[in-house]
């Protein structure tokens, strides 16, 4: 009985049959969403009700209905009305590289557990470093997400700037980082994980456009030093997650160099602009960064979750972790770039280089230029539409594909407008025809749209604003 069950679970023919069926289902799904044949982006359900459905389905549902139910009850990123979180509607080709990864399942902790993807990863990293403007001394690796990559970069900064073997001996020194008050929360989280505490996270105020106010850097640095802290790093946002605004990386890079501290750029969202001939200038000064993070699953058409962490000086990517595991990692005098577990948190790591390498091989880097440029262009167009409509107010003129705006009603106070806009977003979620999110900036609730689909156009923007006005009218008059 056991052998028969295992034989069925590993049956190549069963896989062939079910695989063809799934590809057909997914191709139909892509056609329906990309072409807006399906009317909804999300079929919203309350958490407890969703749990009840899947609990019941496990006991009574038909196996043949499983894939269709999963699709029906998932958010549809390929729909032009999806303008929510910063997750890419993947290039369908990467669905196939995901399948290749899943079946081969090479762990990549050491070279022999992933020869091809390890070598491919080096090729990808070298391409990314070249686009940034780094020299041949640069290096890096792929890892599981921007949060982990940013933490690893800050550990590298601590290793190099603090000049103490903290990995072996620990430290009681008061260390600090400097970062925009609008930076992604993972920077704050990373510093707290590292034991810096609240006072070790020096948050710099932003200007009227929500970029870090570089005029405050000197004052903030001196104040922190005078309080007994050692500043090890300055972090730039490219862009900030909430507003989509890029910091002045060029000026920040010069400041970090002058003070002898690490300069890190969190370009998880906007780093893909290195390939955009039109928008690459937003990253001016990036070559000055000691490290830089770029997510493949945000603006580079790849599945979650894959991130590049790149170092100006490649040796820094080797010095962060020093921990011997005799059955895996052997001490070596030369740079063994091919044993990735020595440089990352991960031992088992999925073959994420397949996505990057395959897209570059099949479509070339121009596909990334087309994707980023199209989405940023659409952000500019949507911003103009909003600015010309008296019913709406932009938080800031967009620099990228992220827009923060709110519905406004004459003579309404802040509390009232916050309530109206929050209810608008909830109503849109429940109806499911559009998907956007919300954020709070300096006490003001804004609707937040991130244009992630290259097929989203001005007609969809206008339809969204019409829908918001309609919902707002109902909310106001109820």
Per-residue pLDDT reduced to its tens digit, 48-68: 999 999 999 999 999 999 999
DSSP label at 229? P
Q: Are residues 392 and 337 in the same domain?
A: no
Any domain includes 234: yes
Structural domain ending residue among the three candidates 363, 383, 412: 363
Look at residue 277 and give its three-state secondary structure.
coil
Look at residue 391 and give its three-state secondary structure.
coil
156: CATH? 3.40.640.10
The pLDDT-based confidence of 167 (bands split at 50, 70, 90) is low
Q: What is the pLDDT of residue 172?
A: 66
Any domain includes 115: yes
What gap in Å lies between CA 10 and CA 20, rounded to an integer? 16
What gap in Å lies between CA 320 and CA 311, rounded to an integer? 12
Residue 285: half-sphere exposure toward Cβ, Cα within 13 Å: 21
What gap in Å lies between CA 378 and CA 402, rounded to an integer? 10
Residue 153: half-sphere exposure toward Cβ, Cα within 13 Å: 38
Q: Are residues 354 and 440 in the same domain?
A: no
Q: Is the pLDDT of residue 320 over 90?
A: no
DSSP label at 210? S
What gap in Å lies between CA 199 and CA 196, rounded to an integer? 7
Any domain includes 262: yes
Q: Which of 114-123, 328-337, 449-458 has the lowest mean pLDDT?
A: 328-337
Structural domain ending residue among the three candidates 363, 387, 406: 363
Whether 54 and 64 have beta carbons less than 8 Å apart is answered as: no
Structural domain ending residue among the three candidates 363, 395, 422: 363
Q: What is the pLDDT of residue 108?
A: 87
Q: Is the pLDDT of residue 184 over 90?
A: no
- Measured over the CA atoms of residue 131, residue 137, residue 138 and residue 142, the dihedral's sign is positive
What gap in Å lies between CA 61 and CA 127, rounded to an integer? 47
Smallest CA-to-CA distance from 283 within 347, 354, 372 is with 372
Q: Are residues 300 and 234 in the same domain?
A: yes
Whether 357 and 123 have beta carbons less than 8 Å apart is answered as: yes
Any domain includes 19: no
Q: Are residues 295 and 407 in the same domain?
A: no
Residues 6+ apart with CB under 8 A from 421: 406, 407, 438, 445, 446, 447
Q: What is the pLDDT of residue 327?
A: 37
Mean pLDDT of 331-347: 69
Smallest CA-to-CA distance from 452 within 42, 74, 84, 71 is with 84
Q: Are residues 355 and 373 in the same domain?
A: no
Any domain includes 291: yes
Look at residue 3 and give its three-state secondary structure.
helix
Q: Are residues 333 and 426 in the same domain?
A: no
Q: Are residues 359 and 414 in the same domain?
A: no
Q: Are residues 358 and 379 in the same domain?
A: no
Q: Are residues 309 and 425 in the same domain?
A: no
Q: What is the pLDDT of residue 348?
A: 84
Q: Are residues 288 and 435 in the same domain?
A: no
What gap in Å lies between CA 91 and CA 478, rounded to an integer? 43
Q: Are residues 214 and 266 in the same domain?
A: yes
What are 8's two structure tokens?
Answer: 């069925």
Determine if residue 110 is left, alpha or beta; phi over 0 gives left, psi from -120 to 50 gives alpha, anything else beta.
Answer: beta
Range of the domain at 426: 367-477
Mean confidence (pLDDT) of the chain: 92
Higher pLDDT, 234 or 160: 234
Q: What is the pLDDT of residue 435?
A: 97
Mean pLDDT of 320-329: 48
> pLDDT tens digit string along 356-372?
999 999 999 999 999 99
What are 269's two structure tokens?
Answer: 């969202």
Listed ranges 82-86, 196-200, 322-326; the one with the highest mean pLDDT: 82-86
Any domain includes 315: yes
Whether 212 and 236 have beta carbons less than 8 Å apart is answered as: yes
Any domain includes 354: yes
Query: Percent of the chain beyond pLDDT 90?
Result: 80
Mean pLDDT of 206-219: 95
What gap in Å lies between CA 25 and CA 277, rounded to an integer? 37
Q: What is the pLDDT of residue 59?
A: 96
DSSP state letters, 337-359: TT-GGGTSS-SS---THHHHHHH
369 CA to centre of own chain:
17
Q: What is the pLDDT of residue 335?
A: 58
Q: What is the pLDDT of residue 165?
A: 67
Q: Domain tally for the chain?
A: 2
Look at residue 320 and give its three-state secondary structure.
coil
The pLDDT-based confidence of 111 (bands split at 50, 70, 90) is confident
β-strands 444-450, 402-407 pairing: antiparallel
Mean pLDDT of 443-447: 96
* Crossing angle (nearest 10°) for helices 458-477 and 366-387: 40
461: CATH? 3.90.1150.10
Mean pLDDT of 305-310: 96
Q: Are residues 350 and 376 in the same domain?
A: no
Q: What is the pLDDT of residue 332?
A: 45
Q: Is the pLDDT of residue 160 over 90?
A: no
Q: What is the pLDDT of residue 414?
A: 95
- CB burial readout 429-449, b (16+ within 10 A) else e: beebebbbbbbebeeebbbbb
Q: Is the pLDDT of residue 325 over 50?
A: no
Mean pLDDT of 288-312: 97
**Alpha helices of 114-165 — where are they, by DSSP H?**
115-132, 146-161
Any domain includes 13: no
What are the phi and psi torsion angles at 181 (to 5°)? -65, -15
Q: Is the pLDDT of residue 351 over 60?
A: yes
């Amino acid at each position: 009985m056991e052998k028969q069950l295992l034989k069925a679970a590993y049956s190549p023919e069963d896989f062939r049959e079910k695989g063809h069926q799934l590809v057909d289902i997914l191709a139909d799904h892509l056609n329906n969403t990309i072409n807006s044949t399906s009317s909804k982006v999300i079929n919203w359900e309350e958490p407890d009700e969703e749990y009840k459905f899947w609990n019941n389905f496990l006991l009574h549902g038909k196996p043949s209905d499983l894939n269709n139910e999963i699709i029906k009850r998932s958010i549809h990123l390929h729909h032009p009305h999806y303008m929510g979180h910063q997750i890419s509607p993947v290039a369908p080709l990467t669905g196939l590289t995901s399948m290749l990864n899943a079946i081969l399942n090479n762990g990549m902790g050491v070279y022999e557990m992933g020869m091809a993807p390890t070598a491919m990863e080096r090729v990808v990293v070298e391409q990314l470093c070249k686009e940034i403007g780094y020299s041949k001394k640069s290096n890096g690796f792929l890892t599981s997400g921007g949060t982990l990559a940013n933490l690893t970069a800050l550990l590298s900064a601590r290793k190099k700037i603090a000049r103490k073997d903290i990995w072996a001996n620990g430290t009681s020194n008061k260390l600090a980082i400097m970062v925009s008050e609008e930076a992604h929360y993972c920077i704050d989280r990373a510093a707290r994980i590292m034991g810096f505490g609240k006072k070790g996270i020096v948050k710099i105020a932003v200007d009227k456009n929500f970029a870090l106010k570089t005029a405050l850097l000197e004052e903030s640095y001196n104040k922190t030093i005078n309080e007994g802290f050692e500043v090890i790093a300055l972090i730039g946002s490219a862009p900030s997650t909430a507003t989509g605004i890029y910091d002045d990386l060029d000026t920040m890079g010069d400041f970090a160099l002058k003070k002898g501290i690490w300069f890190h750029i969190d370009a998880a969202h906007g780093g893909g602009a290195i390939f955009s001939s039109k928008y690459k200038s937003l990253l001016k000064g990036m070559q000055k960064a000691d490290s830089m993070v770029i997510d493949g699953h945000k603006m580079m058409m790849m599945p979650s979750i894959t991130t590049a962490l790149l170092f100006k000086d490649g040796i820094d990517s080797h010095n962060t972790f020093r921990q011997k595991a005799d059955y895996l990692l052997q001490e070596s005098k030369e740079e063994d770039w091919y044993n990735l577990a020595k440089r990352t948190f991960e031992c088992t790591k999925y073959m994420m280089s397949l996505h990057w390498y395959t897209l570059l091989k099949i479509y070339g880097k121009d596909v990334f230029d087309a994707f980023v440029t199209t989405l940023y262009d659409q952000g500019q167009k949507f911003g103009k539409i909003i600015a010309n409509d008296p019913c709406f107010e932009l938080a800031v003129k967009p620099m990228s594909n992220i827009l923060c705006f709110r519905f406004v009603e004459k003579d309404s106070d802040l509390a009232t407008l916050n309530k109206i806009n929050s209810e608008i977003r909830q109503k849109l979620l429940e109806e499911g025809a559009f998907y956007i999110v919300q954020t709070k900036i300096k006490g003001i609730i804004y609707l937040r749209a991130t244009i992630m689909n290259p097929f989203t156009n001005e007609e969809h923007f206008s339809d969204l604003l019409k829908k918001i006005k309609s919902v707002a009218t109902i909310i106001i008059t109820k």
